[in-house]
Amino acid sequence: MSPSMLMMWISFAGMFALILAIGLILLSRYKLSGFLAGFVAFLAYIFLIVGGLIIAFVVLRGPTA
């Protein structure tokens, strides 16, 4: 697999983590309550941080070809 294709798949993983974070934050705020809401929100913020770091890595790495 070429480096460009690998970076594409890594960026897709980052975007998926960010979309998952959005969904989990909305779920924890509007549908859940108590400890479960806090746990889901914590997970969402972890996905947000990881997704942001992945996207920053892809963007700052620059072009591959």
pLDDT of residue 9: 96
Distance between CA atoms of 21 and 36, rounded to whole angstroms? 15
Domain range summary for the chain, segments of one domain joined by +: 3-61
Q: Is the pLDDT of residue 51 over 90?
A: yes
SS3 32: coil
pLDDT tens-digit readout, 2-50: 989 999 999 999 999 999 999 999 999 999 999 999 999 999 999 999 9
| Local structure of 13: helix, strand or coil | helix
* pLDDT of residue 53 exceeding 90: yes
* CA gap 65, 31 in Å, rounded: 45
In this prediction the pTM is 0.89
List the one residue out of 9, 17, 11 whose CA is nearest residue 47: 17
Rounded-to-integer distance, Cα 65 and Cα 52, Å: 23
